[in-house]
Amino acid sequence: MCLIAFAWQLSGRPLLLLGNRDEFHARPTRPATFWNEEGHPELLAGKDLEAGGTWLGVTRSGRFAALTNIRSPGARRGPRSRGSLVLDYLTGRSAPEDYLNALVDDLAGYAGFNLLVGNMQQLWYLNSDEARPQALTPGLYGLSNAALNSPWPKLQALRQGLDQHLDSESDSDALLGLLRDSREYPDEQLPDSGVGLEWERRLSATFIRGEDYGTRASSLLAIDADGSITFVERNFGPNGQELGESGWIL
């Protein structure tokens, strides 16, 4: 994913997460579904059909994980797919803390990433550049292609929007609507992440419309206090064309 805002252990709910996945439209992708054919019928997630991993997923037991790439000048490359980091946690049994601690000595195999792994009781975060897993305390967070809560304009806007919905009975349409903000921000507010000003402008929007590259999926993941899980995904094609919506309550 490229942009996530999430509330952890707030308003009587373990998790409320919103996120957009931005990617080249030519990259083959399977929308979210249960991974029955792969032998993981408990797993609900999209699938990157090029590398085999995923960017966001949840299991029936309440294990969840999400990933964003780190974008920075001189960012390193890695031989292995970062999507496997999400998949390996979701299909394994390691506790969140143990899983991230085991990764710390193997970070050179991956390009830069932010990784969230959790369950009903705990949520852990790892930034591969910092290499220090940390448990997240209850709060409202935002994550894009830098460190946790970096003050990128679109991250701040999405986090503020989510905050305004926490104490209301907002439905999925209202929440997912926060992810459709296509405004671009002034140059002086943009980060320098090594992609050039034209791309910084384009990537500054919460929802990116483009013929070749753009927002491919918008997702909502909610875990309630009783353990029920809601997952909704909207998929998009070139120039923001709506391709459909799927939703599950587990």
C-beta separation of 228 from 199 below 8 A: no
Ramachandran area for residue 219 (φ above 0: left; ψ -120 to 50: alpha; else beta) = beta
Question: Which pLDDT tens digit goes with each residue over 136-179?
Answer: 999 999 999 999 999 999 999 999 999 999 987 779 999 999 99
**Residues in the chain, total:** 250
The CATH code of the domain that includes 8 is 3.60.60.10
57-87 pLDDT tens trace: 999 999 999 999 999 887 777 889 999 999 9
Q: Give the separation between CA 237 and CA 77, rounded to whole angstroms.
A: 27
Other C-beta atoms closer than 10 Å to the C-beta of 26 total 9
In angstroms, the CA 130 to CA 209 distance is 32
Query: Number of folded domains in the chain?
Result: 1
Per the structure, the complete domain to which residue 202 belongs is given by: 3-249
Q: What is the pLDDT of residue 76?
A: 72
pLDDT tens-digit map of 82-133: 999 999 999 999 999 999 999 999 999 999 999 999 999 999 999 999 999 9
The pLDDT value recorded for residue 35 is 98
Pairwise CA distance, residues 193 & 72, whole Å: 4
Residue 91 Cα distances to 31, 220, 242, angstroms: 18, 21, 30
Q: Are 4 and 68 in contact (CB under 8 A)?
A: yes
